[in-house]
Amino acid sequence: MIPEHIPVMVSEVLEYLQPQPGQVIIDGTVGLGGHAKNICSRLGSSGQLIGFDRDAETLRCCHANLQAFDGVTLVHNSYDSIPEELRQRNLSSIDGVLLDLGLSSYQLDQRNRGFSFQEEGRLDMRFDTSRGQSAADILRTTDEHTLRNWLFTFGEERHSGKIARQIKRAPSMETVQDLKEAIRKSTPPAFRQKSFARVFQALRIVVNQELEHLDRFLIDCISFVKPTGRVVIISYHSLEDRRVKHTFREYRQQGLVNVLTRKPQVASQDEIQGNPRARSAKLRAAEVTA
């Protein structure tokens, strides 16, 4: 059975992205194709959707989920490579771009990936398992001071020093259970689940260089989106949302975009009840003017 993904804030994405027949739209984090299906239904047979993802296994599933639609191209690469990919396709600009920066339940549920502290398995955490260092590799080779700074900066974890010390003292740091045990020894039980979540988030950000990829995209995005084209970004934690907010504000002050969301759009209570991962989603959108 081909896994599918429940996309967050679909109506809001379509409202702000405004895909039209014949347009070229990029889904920079296409995943299993949840948002892409809805976008393709608006583009029609004359439109084109280009989907990017760093996860090869997810892309294979996405291809099956989108096979009913014409004009779909899937690219195994990060969304910050969009300018290069467009040059290779002789496309100077596009009509809109979407980023959904969250993990899918499919990725979280894969035991061999190490994304979730609720699943046992190897500490990998890479979106693209064909390149880069795994979380286990990084924990083994990184000094305690750097680890502490990562956990505090990217996870906002108050026990970052104690956890980093336990990680470096642990006899093995190869599995999800190894990491959880280091966290368990360093944190009070009352809020330990939150510490698990914060530490796993911080390491995933480091392993995949998520903020660096987002920064590069934000620098380039208005250069390849046509005037009146839209940039729509869904983030799930403050480190990402602040970057998007401040960049859109700077572009607005330079007269390069109209910011369409004075405040971030959030999911409705009805959606959150049906899809709890939508609880932390924040959507911001801008229209390119020049």
Domains defined for the chain, CATH in brackets: 10-106+210-288 (3.40.50.150), 111-208 (1.10.150.170)
- Residue pair 285/231 in contact (Cβ under 8 Å)? The answer is yes
Q: What is the pLDDT of residue 2?
A: 63
pLDDT higher than threshold 70 for residue 1: no
pLDDT higher than threshold 70 for residue 176: yes
pLDDT higher than threshold 90 for residue 107: no
- pLDDT (average), residues 267-275: 94
- Residue pair 205/131 in contact (Cβ under 8 Å)? The answer is no
* Band of residue 277 on the pLDDT scale cut at 50, 70, 90: confident
Place of tokens 């390149």: 131
pLDDT higher than threshold 90 for residue 109: no
Lowest-pLDDT choice from 73-82, 109-118, 279-288:
109-118
Lowest-pLDDT choice from 111-115, 167-171, 257-261, 275-279:
111-115
Query: In this predicted model, what pLDDT tens digit does every residue of 22-79 receive, in sequence order?
Result: 999 999 999 999 999 999 999 999 999 999 999 998 999 999 999 999 999 999 999 9
- pLDDT (average), residues 102-108: 77
Average pLDDT of the chain, as a whole number: 94
